Amino acid sequence: MSKGKILIVDELHAIFKERAAAMGYEVHDEPNFTRAQTLAAIADYDGIAVRTKFRIDRELIDAGTKLKFIARAGAGLDNIDEAVALERNIHLINAPEGNMDAVGEHAVGLMLSLMNNFRNADMEIRKGKWDREGNRGYELKGKTVGIIGYGFMGSSLARKLSGFGVQVIAYDKYKTGFSDQYAREVSMEEIVKLSDVLSFHIPLTNETRQLVDEEYLLHFRKPIFFINTARGEIVSTQAVLNALNKGKILGAGLDVLEVEKFPALAEQPWFAELISSGKVILTPHVGGWTFDSYRKISEVLSDKLAALS
C-alpha cells in the first residue's frame, strides 16, 4: 500500500527517489516543472521536494491541500514560508548535514586564496607580470578566526581549521554552552575585538537581513578578512566595498550576494565596483554544492523522510 505521493520539482540526486520509493511512496520526478505546473498539480501530492527553483509560499502551500511534508534539498529554509507550513502542521525537512563539509572547505579555500593573493597573482602572471613583493601574503597560523553562527556550517568550518594553528572563536545569538575542542564561545564584543578573519554561517531571517552594514563593520578593532558562504542578503555589499576602500576589510570572499544570477546581478549599483576590486573573490553560490554533497543531501533527506514515516 502506498504511503502517498511525492512530487520532486528540482534537480535532486536519484538516491532520494530510490529510497522514497523503497519506503512505499509513489514518486514523480519532474525537475523541469515550472511554478505554474507545480501549482496545478500539487493538490494530488502528500509531499514536495525542492532545491532552489522557486519559493514555496502561501499560494503553493494552500493549493497543496494534502501536503504532509516539504523537503528542502539544502541547508536553509528561507525559500519556504515556514509560518504557513506551521499553520498547516506540515513537516519541514532540510539537509544541512549533507553539505556542511562542502561549505566548511569552501570557506577555508576562500580564506587561503584571499590571504595569499592567489587570484591577483594568477592574473598578473598570465599578463606577463612577476611581482613577488606585491603578492606577499599572510599565514593563517596565529590568527583569530571569528565565526558567526555555530550550527552545522559554523562548526564544520571550525573542525576544518583545527590543523592550522589558529584560535577559533564563535558567537551564536541562539545558543549557549557550545564551546568544544574546535571553538570557544564568546560574546559579540569579543568577536569585534579579536577577529582577524570573520566568517558568516547564519540563516536568512527578518532579523539577519542586512545585518552587516556600515555600522556593524565600524566596530571591528582590526582590519579583517571577510567571508560569507551563508546568504547574500545578510550583507550590504556596498558596506563591504566601502570597508575595503577604507582598509577595514583586507579582502572579501563572497560565495553569495544580495542579488544572484544575471541579468539582475549586473544591474545592481555596486556591481561594477565589486567586479573591479582586486580584493574580492567571487564564487556563484557553490560553497555547499559539490559532486559529493549532491548525493549526501539526498541521503540525509531520505533518512529524515524515513524518520517521519
Which residues carry out catalysis? 231, 267, 285
Beta carbons within 10 angstroms of residue 71's beta carbon: 27
Cβ count near 206 (within 10 Å): 5
Residue 217: phi, psi to the nearest 5? -75, -25
Torsion of CA 296, 302, 303, 308, to 10 degrees: 150
CA angle 63, 66, 70 (to 5 degrees): 80
Cα–Cα dist 172/153, whole Å:
12
> Are 208 and 232 in contact, with CB atoms under 8 Å apart?
no
Asked if 302 and 19 count as a contact pair (C-beta separation under 8 A), the reply is: yes
Q: How far apart are CA 143 and CA 164, in angstroms?
A: 9
Q: Find where cell 502528500 sits.
A: 46
Angle between helices 118-126 and 96-115 (to 10 degrees): 60
